[in-house]
Structure 1
Amino acid sequence: MNKYLVVLFLIIQFTAFAQDRLTGRNFATRSEVIASNGMVASSHPLATQIGVDILQQGGTAVDAAIAVNAALGLMEPTGGGIGGDLFAIVWDSESKKLHGINASGRSPQSLTIEHFKDKNLKSIPSTGPLPVSVPGCVDGWFELHSKFGKLPMTKILAPTIKYAEEGFPVTELIAYYLKGSVNRYMRQFPNVEETYTNNGKVPDKGDLFKNPFLASTYRKLAEEGRDSFYKGEIAVTITDFIKEQGGFLSVEDLESHTSTWVDPISTNYRGYDIWELPPNGQGLAALQMLNIIEGFSFDEISFGSAQHLHIVNEAKKLVYEDRAEYYADPEFVEVPVEQLLSKDYSEKRRELINLERAGEFKAGKVDHTGTVYLTVADKDGNMISLIQSNYRGMGSGMVPPELGFMLQNRGELFDLEEGKPNSYAPGKRPFHTIIPGFVTKNNAPYLSFGVMGGDFQPQGHVQIIMNLIDFGMGLQEAGDAPRYEHVGSSSVTGELSEGKGEILVESGFDFEETLKLMALGHKVGFGGYYGGYQAILYDAERGVYFGASESRKDGHAAGY
């Protein structure tokens, strides 16, 4: 046994397992939260409490979701904020249907691909003004509110305004990420220190932190509406700053911004309808993976076995090649969603999987015709699955003066090679990693869920669905179970796959099964980004909600 395997053995074999004290299950770190009137699950305890308070004041699930998202923009700026984009799926109990909103922004109209060529750039940088696209979050809030809201925005944003002015204690994980990000950004860009530090010191765990600039911005949004952000003083401040930094975002770009209401897309997996949003996001990848996996029976394949991980990661490799080839803004290219989602196409792709050996794959042929996640359910049966992000790190490093937030770097996810579906173009939405998930059964709501984590997200969605449906886990256990991430597939930004890639695993997988996985030809390692999970399950028969929250984050679920 070589040195690598010895280390692998020690890490996996002697890891302490969290075991549920009642059921004896291996993975549940705590009980599910159960309530009948409403439920909120988010990655910050104070944000979750704000959501519950809004529900108790008579707010809808959407009202509470906006309030929670606003709080996370203050309390977890390492994950999201109003400088970024938003996607959501809403179950409306009155119409008994799902509604999807794509609140992602577009690239500047005056920035062309020739500019990148002139600078000899092969890819769009992750920081600075060039990856900044129009922030869509605020418009998403107001679109959701106009359709499904009840309380005034002044009441919805009031709790976070108070915390921003009076201060709140920074939680452990967020303090850790702040330390790395803010120190790095401060060395490069203006306004970071003034916005995210206490007199030049990045807050530690337990330190009180205030953001009076964000309080002022939120108050303006609450009192004056979305136009104050896209057409007023805030828009001028944003665009003047970006141009000073050498960027291209203009007031006209913000003024012309619109969100898009879309029909969610779905596939049936073993009797459950799994719902995602269509591209420019990557939710389609989760559905494609499930279509392939559905052809294998897991009745006699145990969780964490070599066969389990082999099948799922081979499916991932197949689907991510399609993702790199076809996913993009549907307003610019025709994305063959129907064909990629068809069971016939999935069957052909499934046939490429060799159960005895890891493979290398290319995209199939078709005919062309750092994120925050939260979920809320209310007393009337409405549910919302919402995800929101600035993308890598805290975003671009671009902090407009005295506004209290950083702008996103989503534009980094364009391909600079011309002629590709995701090639850069002015006024175009980039490929997006953030995806909300939803599950219905017999045309009724069953599960609102999401798993943060960049490229990992479709893999995370599939793992949660399989944990619940194939392996019979409870809602909390499904999120606490050890995860795995395959890396090395072809990218939407133009990078080609690295052979068979590598499977990164958390501690908790059986050592002997890991050896079997390696014997199939897989490279296995550690250090993946396994995301952050939140979920609400609705038990229609008993009329109660079950809530679960990510043990890898600072948050929790709460109901009343």
Structure 2
Amino acid sequence: MRRKGRLLAVAAFLVLLNASPGMGLAQPQPGSDTPFGKPTADVPNPGVNNEAVPATRPAGYLDQTRSEVLARNGIAATSNPLATAAAERILLDGGNAIDAAVAASATLGTVEPMSTGMGGDLFAIVWSAKDKKLYSLASSGWAPKAWTVDYFKNTLGVDEVPSRGINSAVIPGTVSGWDALLKRFGSMGFREVLEPAASYAEDGFPIHEVMHGQWRSAVNSLREDPDSAKTWLPGGQAPELYSVFRNPDMARALRLIQKNGRDAFYKGEIARAVVAKSEAAGGVIALDDLARYQSEWVTPLSTEYHGYRVHQLPPPGQGFAALEMLNVLDVCAPRLGFDLAALGPRDPQYWHLLIEAKKLAYSDLHRYNADPTFDPPPLDRLLSKEYAATLCDRIDPGRATPPEIDGTDMGSTVYFATADRWGNMVSLVNSNYSGFGSRVTIPGYGFVLANRGSGFTLDETHPNVVEPRKRPFITIIASFITKDDKPVMAFGNMGGGTQPQAHAQHVVNMIDHGMNVQATTDVARFDHSQENDVTSLDTYLYDLVGPKLQEMGHRLNRANGHAGGYQGILFEPDPRLPTPILPKDTGPRTGDAYERPVNGVYRAGSDRRKDGHAGGW
């Protein structure tokens, strides 16, 4: 009883002490205005207030954000966790890497609608385990038949193709690309692979951090189209961070494609809705423009870099600029007395050489790139080592040189990679071009048309001049690396004009500097604009090498989170393991073919500049 009495007395004293001002015990302090990172009206993204020091890793590169993801049965690396999960779901159900890629593409069009969707364009490189070779699919949209220079200059009264609105929209290639991939290499149909995307559109999905910022930046332009405002701006604003967004109209479109296939989009009621919207908005898209559209299987381009072969898609994509840039670095760096591996990425001279090589490659890109059906670029010459040698004298080792040819660099894209237990690998890029594309939404079907038409020029002397049913200069590219005709890696980097220069930087990082598949994206990279000759550098890189580069004549910009977003999957074969058993074209998805993992390990990485991650098992 004495002990109980003492405890009661102490408790009473503490209550009295806390109630008495100035008696020695501190008053409770208020917590954060945004506990657990919950946004408020005044602070829509609480992450901006985090001033904590970054952590380090216990092994390897200290600032690497995470380990590579390793798997043997199936793996995907995308810019959104829901898309990675959709691809894994298909792989777990017995689908192959191609099925998973289409599922990821459709899901990204649902959950990352500012970047991609069924109204956009698609390119893919597929490693076929059965054929042991690469295939490339080009599914970029073409111009309506009524598009001519006269149409824009005299009918519309403009001196360039608009950057948004219905007269920036070409015929979409995405759905045709899905169909082409599934028919040639898939083991599933639209009903299965579009189910994750359709479910997310119907049930809703949460708004991730990076996506939220991109959505908010497009609010004013989305208000220009009533159907866009109705679809994308609930309550007149962008969805809040962590809120749930639903798109029942997009679900309706996906369900129609599940039921009726490709024709639902290009010949059926979705096609009729696209034409009706075009007419209402002052455009000239016709039913025949949609009905006649077809994707193309094309021959990939490649060059050798330090024992590896790097592959890109051909024009009108800009992939050949990455190959030319690598050739210039390969040939010119030693001729100028430099070794990139020895210099390393802490030396200003290293960045000077990369930036100057980029300017040379992009000058040729903007001089020649066009739809090869109309005016093929001289690729045999541009991609030869001999041609690269002729460019070495244009690099001043001590001084920045302005680019000879400029060009626009905008873009909003998704890139991702998938791989399966049989050894199939897919490198795929899908895009609306700029955020929410043309900002023109198809009513009742919940998707925007891409504004890829703004990639054309009205200069009749240029190979990229607008013409009926021609494909414009397109920024999106997918890449693949092989060695001795065997698969090494599927990788890519989204972000308009960022892409070829980022591809080259990743190749140098991994081959010359020995970085792993995750580390290459966790390090800083440069992003040079050919349009205004300004180079953006990540903040810490700017502080390290910026002053010296400015002394050399470079115009610089300090940037955070720039240079797009990367994903990559590398295959590490193990000759001690049994080779996979390829499944039969028909029959149940059971047996040894669906149980034996690949004869090696997949290693995947994903960019912290985006919301996504890699996942596998």
- TM-score, structure 2 length as denominator? 0.84
Distance 1:361 1:327, change over 3 A: same
Shifted more, 295-304 versus 381-390: the winner is 295-304
* Secondary structure of residue in 2 paired with 1:381: coil
What does residue range 272-311 of structure 1 map to in structure 2 within 5 Å? 272-295=308-331, 296=333, 297-311=339-353
Provide the residue aligned with 1:538 in structure 2: 571
What does residue range 459-478 of structure 1 map to in structure 2 within 5 Å? 459-478=501-520
Provide the residue aligned with 1:507 in structure 2: 539
Residue 184 (str. 1) matches residue 220 (str. 2): yes
Aligned equivalents of 2:273 and 2:524: distance in 1?
45
Provide the residue aligned with 1:553 in structure 2: 610
Provide the residue aligned with 1:161 in structure 2: 198
User: Does the aligned pair in 2 maintain the 1:483–1:506 contact within 8 Å?
Assistant: yes
* Secondary structure of residue in 1 paired with 2:127: strand
- TM-score, structure 1 length as denominator? 0.92
Distance 1:514 1:57, change over 3 A: same
Q: Read off the aligned partner of 2:610 and give its amino acid letter.
A: K
Cα distance per residue 1:370-401 (max 9 Å; x no partner): 20111100000000000000101111011111
Report how far residue 164 of structure 1 moved.
1.2
What does residue range 94-109 of structure 1 map to in structure 2 within 5 Å? 94-109=130-145
Say which of 122, 127, 137 aligns to 2:174.
137
Cα distance per residue 1:404-435 (max 9 Å; x no partner): 10001000010111121111111110000000
User: Does the aligned pair in 2 maintain the 1:195–1:402 contact within 8 Å?
Assistant: no
User: Does the aligned pair in 2 maintain the 1:15–1:508 contact within 8 Å?
Assistant: no
Report how far residue 514 of structure 1 moved.
2.3
Report how far residue 15 of structure 1 moved.
11
What does residue range 23-102 of structure 1 map to in structure 2 within 5 Å? 23=60, 25-102=61-138
User: Does the aligned pair in 2 maintain the 1:503–1:525 contact within 8 Å?
Assistant: yes
Structure number with greater CO (CA < 8 Å, separation at least 6) is: 1
User: Does the aligned pair in 2 maintain the 1:17–1:508 contact within 8 Å?
Assistant: no
Aligned equivalents of 2:221 and 2:543: distance in 1?
40
Bigger Rg over Cα:
2
User: Does the aligned pair in 1 maintain the 2:315–2:371 contact within 8 Å?
Assistant: yes
Distance 1:163 1:512, change over 3 A: closer
Aligned equivalents of 1:27 and 1:262: distance in 2?
40
Provide the residue aligned with 2:44 in structure 1: none
Aligned equivalents of 1:98 and 1:301: distance in 2?
34
Distance 1:199 1:206, change over 3 A: same
What does residue range 192-271 of structure 1 map to in structure 2 within 5 Å? 192-271=228-307
Q: Read off the aligned partner of 1:515 and give its amino acid letter.
A: P
Shifted more, 201-210 versus 260-269: the winner is 201-210
Shifted more, 118-127 versus 210-219: the winner is 118-127
Provide the residue aligned with 1:522 in structure 2: 554
Aligned equivalents of 1:134 and 1:88: distance in 2?
18
Distance 1:15 1:349, change over 3 A: farther
Aligned equivalents of 1:222 and 1:513: distance in 2?
53
Say which of 354, 364, 379 aligns to 1:312.
354
Q: Read off the aligned partner of 1:462 and give its amino acid letter.
A: A
Q: Read off the aligned partner of 1:444 and give its amino acid letter.
A: K
* Secondary structure of residue in 2 paired with 1:546: strand
Q: Read off the aligned partner of 1:285 and give its amino acid letter.
A: A
* Secondary structure of residue in 2 paired with 1:299: helix
Aligned equivalents of 2:251 and 2:125: distance in 1?
28
What does residue range 329-478 of structure 1 map to in structure 2 within 5 Å? 329-362=371-404, 370-478=412-520
Cα distance per residue 1:312-345 (max 9 Å; x no partner): 1000111111111101000110211111001100
Aligned equivalents of 1:146 and 1:410: distance in 2?
26
Report how far residue 37 of structure 1 moved.
0.9
User: Does the aligned pair in 2 maintain the 1:413–1:431 contact within 8 Å?
Assistant: yes
Report how far residue 186 of structure 1 moved.
3.7
* Secondary structure of residue in 2 paired with 1:304: coil
Q: Read off the aligned partner of 1:531 and give its amino acid letter.
A: G
Report how far residue 362 of structure 1 moved.
3.1
Aligned equivalents of 1:82 and 1:222: distance in 2?
13
* Secondary structure of residue in 2 paired with 1:384: strand
Say what the alpha-carbon RMSD is for the aligned residues: 1.7
Cα distance per residue 1:24-83 (max 9 Å; x no partner): x24411111001111100011011011001001110101001001111111000110000
Shifted more, 351-360 versus 55-64: the winner is 351-360
Say which of 87, 91, 111 aligns to 2:147.
111
* Secondary structure of residue in 2 paired with 1:130: helix
Report how far residue 484 of structure 1 moved.
0.9
Aligned equivalents of 2:495 and 2:430: distance in 1?
11
Report how far residue 185 of structure 1 moved.
3.1
User: Does the aligned pair in 1 maintain the 2:147–2:466 contact within 8 Å?
Assistant: no
User: Does the aligned pair in 2 maintain the 1:62–1:148 contact within 8 Å?
Assistant: yes
Distance 1:358 1:177, change over 3 A: same
Instruction: Report how many residues are paired.
Output: 530
Q: Read off the aligned partner of 1:433 and give its amino acid letter.
A: T
User: Does the aligned pair in 2 maintain the 1:475–1:537 contact within 8 Å?
Assistant: yes
Report how far residue 226 of structure 1 moved.
0.1
Aligned equivalents of 1:48 and 1:39: distance in 2?
8
Report how far residue 98 of structure 1 moved.
0.4
Distance 1:209 1:271, change over 3 A: same
User: Does the aligned pair in 1 maintain the 2:64–2:518 contact within 8 Å?
Assistant: yes
Aligned equivalents of 1:473 and 1:205: distance in 2?
34
